[in-house]
Structure 1
Amino acid sequence: MGSDKQHQAVEKYLAGYSEPEVTQLSNIHAKYDHTLVIPLYDESFDDVLRLLNTEFSSTHSSHHLSVLFVLVVNCPEGGDGKAETRTTSLLQALKERVQTVSIGKNLHYGELVPGRGAIIVDRCSEGQRIPIKQGVGLARKVGADIACYLIANQTIKSRWIHSTDADVTLPDDYFDCVNVGHIGRQAMEESVALVYPFIHVAETGYETASELYDWSLRYYVESLQWAGSGYAYHTIGSLIAVDFEAYAKVRGFPKRSGGEDFYLLNKLAKVGPISNLPSPTIHIAARPSQRVPFGTGPAICKITENKHAVASHVFYHPGIFQQLKLAHQVINKSWHARKNNELESSANILESLEIEAVGTPLIEALEALGFARAWKHAVIQSGTEQQFKQQMNVWFDAFKTLKFIHYLRDHGYASLILNEVLNESQVLSVELRDKAVKLLSMTATEITPSN
């Protein structure tokens, strides 16, 4: 990171694609070690204050780290009136707590305590609200664009834009992840994004729903890793840190009401490595919520509706990931079929490789995704096998992988309940298998949320 070309990409992004708040930042003169972006919609003041009061420290420094919080207080246009009222009250409480000084049309800046500042973005007042279809994606983009600008002009020392949510508890050594000891110097220098490890902390009455949801997330990512996917990481917005130059290169968070974390990481994975950190661990509150269309809150709500969820909740068939592993193997080997000009379909290409394990399900799934067309394009564009594999990895991205999985789910690999997954899978880690056994022991226990 850090070439002239990359600096130009940042300048181009900030000048042409960033949100208008970026133009209001010239009056911030203090310097900070790190920055942390937090979108806030219908959150409690106590939860936000808990985050703001976290005493961040580093094992590599004797002093507490200075941090600039970017708090994007937002409401969707035409949203729930009561949620708007609560969010507006949160905005006012934050401005009073931080003792802010207005620095722009909808920005306020001030210090919480010496060495800890906050930029409060008002995207909840009338005339400032977020289009409902752009939701949390735009809220994250506003905050991350501000962070990107402040890193570029050296107000922030670290190159990482950290993103989280108000429903998490951050460890004191949260910012230590940027030290090379966690994943190695070369990996840290090459990474374009970091994904923190996490555990879910369930609200009383939602323990089983939380465990089921958590298991499904870990099962999916673990299965992707086993299958050889380059997109095997958790796509949870509260766990992400992004290199500011890479962020600019992919033009920031997508403006979506959900899935913005998935699509940002999908773009980033095509320009550099995404590293799964071994530590420090973030605690995420597992609580019911309908503020976003999907994610932890809605999943907890849905699972809780079924009092016998452990016995009936379904997961992807392990056979799908066996097919996915095979797909990666044959796609990489398909470079060797490039000189055969008579190959027109996915079936022709895969059959020419003479791999005995390739069968109809795999051929039909790849055909449905347009593999033959992508393969021909990659062959034309690539002078070496390495270039070809990179082209195909970009094509067979996280979104295509999910479509591949869903195609097989709907064509012969129907989802299974937990005990069936446990019996069918031969590759579950010991940790996941033990968690599944523990969950199955809860089969007779009804999910009973507290009132």
Structure 2
Amino acid sequence: MGIKVYAAIPVLNELENLPGLLEDLLNQQNIEWVALLCINQPEEWWKITEKISICNNNKASVELLKSKAIPGLHIIDKSSQGNGWIGKNHGVGWARKTAMDAASGIAGSDDLIVSMDADTRYSSCFFQSVVDSFERHPGAAGLSAPYYHDLTGDVTADRCILRYEIYMRNFALNMLLIDNPYAFSAIGSGMACTAGSYRKIGGMTPKMSGEDFYFIQKLRKSGNIIIDSGVYVKPASRFSDRVYFGTGPAMIKGREGNWDSYPIYHTNAFEPVQKTYNLFSDLFDNEINTPMDAFLYTVTRGQAIWQPLRNNAATRGSFVRACMQRVDALRILQFLKEKNGNYPGNNEQRLKVFLESRFNTGKEINQILRNLNFASSEIRHLDTIRNFMSEQELLLQKQKGIV
């Protein structure tokens, strides 16, 4: 019997997207699958006038799913009256965890738990690509699938999603180029791990939002992440405030012209990160200053950074792993944000410097970069930049395979 895929899918106010999701599930080729959909919202929403429409949408979603009677489709009802979330434990993080925990409870150790979203479209070979990837990289802890946001035709929405995606790809490309072990994007609609790995790390830690970021970071600390699955997932490009940060809130902020939380980090800002990582092995023997020390001392509130790791490391390899776990993706992002003002240029100028210095951009890209303005450039020009970055990211992912 082959590997089985368990799809874990949080659902809130997604009635209009469920037909597309079900179509994509039913079109998956050659793979036996089970889908666990957690329809969810807080119980108290049934008593809040402005939330009743969401409650009714969820109710209709449960009814639709039941009416389909699709084999392998399981409904986790955390939305009907009497079944909703109570207290602080609610949100997409709890819904995703609930679905993934349910999958973990019935899956074999080598079976795969795939995190998906109801507003995302999937190729018919998506499950096959995930299974093939774990067979190609036995022992990997997890997988991060490539992503791509289709444009909507709405100029404002398209401008916002392209700006956000360019921010994400600028970070990912720079991390790939410095060979960082956290060189992947945390996309809740395109993550996977074996059930054994899920249980090994104690499952997903629930968050109100950002649970995908913390989960795949947690997976990376236990083993490698596959980044060469090659089949895009396509999340929706929509304004949404159902989570506190991520694509939807970024688009809402961006619509008002506020991109402060999503800067284009200068490519030179990644050099101190690379140099610090390169010193991990030598730090096992000696106390050496690293380019990130000043920042890390603020994190530890002045306490020793490396000596506690040395005290608990039996070998150089275990020490280096401990350093990697301490200076994780969250710390790297915090470091980049702290140092962001130290580097020259606005966001457009920084992107131009990065792409022209690191890639063979060509005449068309160079012309667009010369006149680039995120607020006023034509959508087709922003899309050309996004597509170029997406292609370069995919090439680097295929070269590396795992991180």
Q: Same fold (TM over 0.5)?
A: yes
Q: How does 1:263-302 map to 2 (within 5 A)?
A: 263-302=214-253
Give, as a single letter, the amino acid of the residue that structure 1 aligns with 2:318. Q
Give 1:257's match in structure 2, choosing from 208, 211, 232.
208
Give 1:325's match in structure 2, choosing from 264, 268, 274.
274
Distance 1:379 1:442 in 2: 46
Determine which structure has more spread, i.e. the larger CA radius of gyration. Answer: 1
Q: Deviations over 1:204-240 (max 9, x none)?
A: 2221211111111111111122233211111111111
Contact 2:297–2:303 (CA under 8 A) maintained in structure 1: yes
Contact 1:374–1:395 (CA under 8 A) maintained in structure 2: no
Contact 1:78–1:132 (CA under 8 A) maintained in structure 2: no
Name the CA shift for 1:231/1:373 in 2 (closer, same or farther; >3 Å): same
Would you say 1:389 and 2:281 are equivalent positions? no
Distance 1:122 1:404 in 2: 41
Give the secondary structure class of the aligned counterpart of 1:172. Answer: coil
Contact 1:313–1:417 (CA under 8 A) maintained in structure 2: no
Name the CA shift for 1:165/1:138 in 2 (closer, same or farther; >3 Å): same
For 1:420, the equivalent position in structure 2 comes to 350
Would you say 1:36 and 2:7 are equivalent positions? yes
Name the CA shift for 1:421/1:71 in 2 (closer, same or farther; >3 Å): same
Distance 1:98 1:133 in 2: 26
Would you say 1:149 and 2:105 are equivalent positions? yes
For 1:122, the equivalent position in structure 2 comes to 77
Q: Quote the sequence identity (%).
A: 23
Name the CA shift for 1:92/1:443 in 2 (closer, same or farther; >3 Å): closer
For 1:444, the equivalent position in structure 2 comes to 376
Using the TM superposition, give the Cα deviation of residue 42 of structure 1 relative to its aligned residue in structure 2, in angstroms. 1.4
Give, as a single letter, the amino acid of the residue that structure 2 aligns with 1:401. I
For 1:219, the equivalent position in structure 2 comes to 170
Would you say 1:49 and 2:27 are equivalent positions? no
The count of aligned residue pairs is 369
Give the secondary structure class of the aligned counterpart of 2:163. Answer: helix
For 1:73, the equivalent position in structure 2 comes to 39
Contact 1:374–1:392 (CA under 8 A) maintained in structure 2: no
Contact 1:316–1:414 (CA under 8 A) maintained in structure 2: no
Using the TM superposition, give the Cα deviation of residue 128 of structure 1 relative to its aligned residue in structure 2, in angstroms. 2.6
For 1:376, the equivalent position in structure 2 comes to 307
Would you say 1:98 and 2:98 are equivalent positions? no
Give the secondary structure class of the aligned counterpart of 1:285. Answer: coil
Give, as a single letter, the amino acid of the residue that structure 2 aligns with 1:88. N
RMSD value over aligned CA atoms? Answer: 3.3
Give the secondary structure class of the aligned counterpart of 1:267. Answer: helix
Name the CA shift for 1:74/1:379 in 2 (closer, same or farther; >3 Å): same
Q: How does 1:345-384 map to 2 (within 5 A)?
A: 349-350=288-289, 362-370=292-300, 373-384=304-315
Contact 2:134–2:140 (CA under 8 A) maintained in structure 1: no
Name the CA shift for 1:120/1:97 in 2 (closer, same or farther; >3 Å): closer
For 1:196, the equivalent position in structure 2 comes to 145
Give, as a single letter, the amino acid of the residue that structure 2 aligns with 1:138. W
Unaligned runs of 5+ in 1: 1-30, 100-109, 338-342, 344-348, 351-357
Distance 2:3 2:378 in 1: 49
TM-score with structure 1 length normalisation?
0.73
